[in-house]
Each structure stands twice: as C-alpha cells, then as structure tokens.
C-alpha cells in the first residue's frame, strides 16, 4: 500500500504545475510563496544553540487552536525557532498577524518521499506536532526514521475519514503507530485512533475551547454607524449555495423587519464575485466591504471580501448562522461566535464539531434548523428578542479551555524537554 501511495503522490507531483496554475488563477495560492510546497524555502533556519519546534495544521481553524501554546513556547529560552506550516493562503495570513519573534511560517510540502526528506534535512525539527486530522504518511515515516518525537494534537477522526482509513486498515495501523502520542479532541476520535493503530492515546479535551483572545479589527466609523442603524444578523463561513439560501431568508424576513441587514462572510473570499452576482440576481442590493465606499442606505447584503474581520462582526451582531452545516461539509467551529455571546444557528451537518454543538445546543446557545421555514422562524424570533440569552457562555468556555490548555501544555512540555 505504501508503494501505491508513493506512486499516487508522485503522479500528483507530475500534475502539480497544472493544479497550481488553476489554484493561482482562483487566488488560492501565493504567487511568490507557492514554491515552498516544493521545498524552495522563503525563510531561513537560525543557526546556533537552541532547537526548532515544528507545528503543522491544515488551515485557519487548526492554527488558531494552537495560538495559546505557541504564545507560551515563544517565551521558552531553550527554543530558538518555532516553525509553523499550513496548506492554505488564508492560514498564512493568520500566522503573519501573530508577531511572535521566534515564529516563522512556511507552506507544507507536497507529501512526496524525497520532498519530505529535503524538508526534514533542512529544518531538522527537535519535535513535530500535527494538529487535528493532518496525517501525511511519507512525512510521518521519515520523522520516525529520524527519531523525531511526533505528536498528534487535538486529533480529530470523523466517521467519514475513519471509513476511508479502514479500507486500508493495515496501512493505517502502520502510519498511526508512528505517533509517539495522540491527544484526541473528542471521545469518538479517541475510539477511532485506537482502532487505527495509535499506540499511546490520552484524552484531554478539545483545544479549541482554549483559543486566546486576539486583536479585533476596528470597523470603520461610517460602517459602524450604518450597522447600528440596522437590525443585523451575520452568516459566517458560508459555502457554495448557502449564500443564496441566506439571501432568500433575508428577502422573506425583510417584509417584517424593514431595517434588516444581512452580513455574509464567505469561507473562501475568492468566490466573492460569483456570490455577489447570485445575490444581485435575487434583486438584493449588495455592498462589498472593500474597497471602502459609501454604503447605500437600502443595502440588503453587506458582503465581506477580506480576511481577519470575522471577530469584529461577531462583536457587532449577536445573531449568527455558521455555514458548512446546510451542506455536507461538517460545519464550522462555533466557539469563536459563542465567546462573543452570539446566538448561533446551524444546519444538521455538524459532524466535525458534534460534541461542541451538543454542549452549546444543550445550553441554548446554538440552535439546529432543519429547513428554511424553521430557519426563518428561529431567526425572526431572535431578531425580535431584546436580550441575548448567552451572557455567561464566554466565561464558561474560558474556564473549560484553561483546564484543557494546562493539561495539553504539560504533555507537550514533556516531549520538548526531552528534545532539548
């Protein structure tokens, strides 16, 4: 099976120029830094005493979950450099905003055997931490050969990914056994990791509860004034077709709430042009967040087309729909919105964050809606309601997160001490 995987990744490497051109056209890759995926590094390893610690996460959500850990490690005098790798353009922007002296970002290389060897021979990490569901066979095999301590943090194995790994169970056991420690994010993942061959598993809890407070982007004065004059709700991390769905909800509810404004923050902002077109085809006046321009007082949809502003809008409007849940994408992490005291609406497809939503639903912070009619009724109720029901949730989440963070730090520090 390993031979087949290496042939497959070799084929991807051959086809990668075509794939990259398509992704560059779609603005999903950095025109300068895409070469990092072929081990042409943009950053340099610092020479001298001290070791390099490496974290890898796929995208924004995964990397945000480790910010509190990185914050602490940045103060460790024995660590000279913290390398963070990811796969997406949006995640690189998140890391660039951290401003930690020891932190550098690179894109993760294509998981071809010789590229993973080039990567490891150059950076020589003292310890490697993979976040969430990032399991790359060639890289893990080579880390084990180099005797580098390798840990899966906040490990998440969904029912779908478990079924896929189970087709090649003997291969899966060979790969998952390479982890020196797995810290699953939920009970389901703990059980799946055991079946897939992980040797040492310790359940602490979901690290996403412990995400640190980050700087909130200041909304422009005129925009803030406009938002205050409206009855606002926000559709965040939306995927294909969900924006159109929200547009139809807006049309229906505006008959009752004349001053209604819908803010839409797409998961992938490269889709903004097509989203705007779809919304305007519904006869909805749509205003783009950037470049800054005067907002028509009759605007229906405020469409956010830049990164890093989600928290600002959570801070402004207290009724939020989280995307990726009306379609089969497994939903988005609701904790960020919950921290701002938002009432959260979501569809039934929440497999990626089932345990978190279960906690929030139980406490009436989040609410599942199974149809457009149900969505309209619930949002209408929340828009008509004067007081927010989730005023204590931020404190409760913070308390849970602090305990999980302390325990996770303890496990990580053990491996780092041994590495140093």
- How confident is the model at residue 246, as a pLDDT? 97
Decide which of 152 and 91 is more confident: 152
Sign of the CA dihedral 264, 62, 138, 85?
positive
Question: What string of DSSP letters covers 143-158?
Answer: HHHTT--EEEEEE---
3, 88, 81: which is closest to 37 by C-alpha?
A: 88
- Token readout for 394 is 């931020």
- How confident is the model at residue 249, as a pLDDT? 97
Q: Is residue 64's pLDDT more than 90?
A: no
- How confident is the model at residue 91, as a pLDDT? 84
Q: Is residue 214's pLDDT more than 80?
A: no
CATH of domain 26-213+401-419: 3.40.50.11720
Q: What is the mean pLDDT of residues 377-397?
A: 77
Predicted structure pTM score:
0.80
- How confident is the model at residue 334, as a pLDDT? 94
Q: How sure is the predictor about 348, in pLDDT bands with cuts at 50, 70 and 90?
A: very high
Q: How sure is the predictor about 391, in pLDDT bands with cuts at 50, 70 and 90?
A: low
> Are the C-beta atoms of 379 and 233 separated by less than 8 Å?
yes
Q: How sure is the predictor about 147, in pLDDT bands with cuts at 50, 70 and 90?
A: very high
Listed by start position, the domains of the chain span: 26-213+401-419, 221-391
Q: What is the mean pLDDT of residues 123-127?
A: 95
Distance CA(51)–CA(80), nearest Å, equals: 6
Q: Which residues does 158 contact at the CB level (< 8 Å), separation at least 6?
A: 133, 330, 351, 352
Q: Which residues does 271 contact at the CB level (< 8 Å), separation at least 6?
A: 240
Q: Is residue 332's pLDDT more than 70?
A: yes
Q: Supply angle C-alpha 267, 257, 280, rounded to 5.
A: 45
- How confident is the model at residue 344, as a pLDDT? 95
Query: pLDDT tens digits, residue range 223-236?
Result: 888 988 999 999 99
Q: How sure is the predictor about 212, in pLDDT bands with cuts at 50, 70 and 90?
A: low
**What is the average pLDDT score of the chain?**
91
CATH of domain 221-391: 3.40.50.2000
Q: What is the mean pLDDT of residues 296-320?
A: 90
Q: How sure is the predictor about 96, in pLDDT bands with cuts at 50, 70 and 90?
A: confident
Q: How sure is the predictor about 390, in pLDDT bands with cuts at 50, 70 and 90?
A: low
- How confident is the model at residue 157, as a pLDDT? 93
119, 132, 142: which is closest to 91 by C-alpha?
A: 132
3-state secondary structure of 264: strand
Q: Is residue 387's pLDDT more than 60?
A: no
Q: Is residue 105's pLDDT more than 90?
A: yes
In this prediction, what percent of the chain has a pLDDT beyond 70? 97
Q: What is the mean pLDDT of residues 371-397?
A: 81
Same CATH topology for 26-213+401-419 and 221-391?
A: yes
């Amino acid at each position: 099976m390993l031979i087949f995987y290496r042939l497959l990744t070799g084929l991807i490497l051959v086809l990668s120029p075509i794939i990259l051109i398509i992704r560059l056209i779609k603005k999903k890759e950095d025109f300068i830094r895409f070469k990092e995926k072929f081990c042409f590094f943009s950053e340099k390893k610092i020479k001298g005493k001290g070791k390099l610690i490496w974290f890898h996460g796929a995208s924004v959500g995964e990397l945000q979950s480790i910010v509190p850990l990185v914050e602490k490690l940045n103060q460790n005098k024995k660590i000279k450099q913290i390398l963070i790798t990811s796969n997406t353009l949006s995640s690189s922007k998140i890391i660039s905003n951290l401003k930690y002296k020891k932190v550098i970002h690179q894109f993760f290389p294509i998981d071809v055997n010789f590229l993973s060897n080039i990567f490891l021979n150059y950076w020589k990490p003292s310890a490697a931490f993979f976040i969430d569901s990032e399991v790359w066979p060639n890289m893990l095999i080579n880390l084990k050969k180099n005797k580098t301590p390798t840990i899966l943090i906040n490990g998440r194995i969904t029912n779908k990914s478990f079924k896929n790994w189970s087709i090649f169970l003997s291969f899966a056991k060979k790969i998952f056994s390479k982890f020196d420690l797995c810290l699953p994010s939920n009970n389901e993942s703990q059980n799946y990791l055991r079946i897939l061959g992980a040797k040492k598993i310790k359940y602490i809890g979901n690290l996403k509860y412990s995400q640190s407070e980050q700087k909130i982007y200041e909304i422009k004065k005129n925009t803030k004034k406009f938002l205050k004059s409206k009855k606002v709700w926000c559709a965040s991390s939306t995927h294909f077709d969900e924006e159109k769905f929200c547009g139809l909800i807006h049309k229906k509810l505006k008959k009752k709430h004349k001053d209604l404004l819908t803010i839409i923050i797409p998961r992938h902002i490269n889709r903004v042009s097509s989203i705007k077109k779809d919304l305007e085809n519904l006869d909805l006046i749509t205003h783009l967040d950037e470049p800054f321009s005067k907002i028509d007082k009759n605007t229906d949809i405020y469409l956010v087309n830049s990164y890093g502003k989600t928290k600002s809008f959570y801070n402004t409007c207290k009724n939020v729909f989280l995307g990726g849940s009306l379609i089969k994408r497994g939903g988005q992490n609701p904790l960020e919105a919950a921290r701002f005291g938002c009432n959260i609406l979501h569809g039934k497809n929440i497999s990626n964050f089932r345990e978190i939503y279960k906690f929030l639903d139980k406490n009436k912070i989040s609410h599942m809606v199974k149809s457009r009619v149900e969505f309209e009724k619930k949002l209408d109720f929340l828009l008509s309601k004067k007081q927010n029901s989730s005023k204590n949730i931020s404190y409760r989440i913070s308390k849970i997160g602090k305990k999980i963070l302390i325990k996770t730090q303890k496990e990580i520090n053990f491996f780092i001490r041994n590495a140093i």
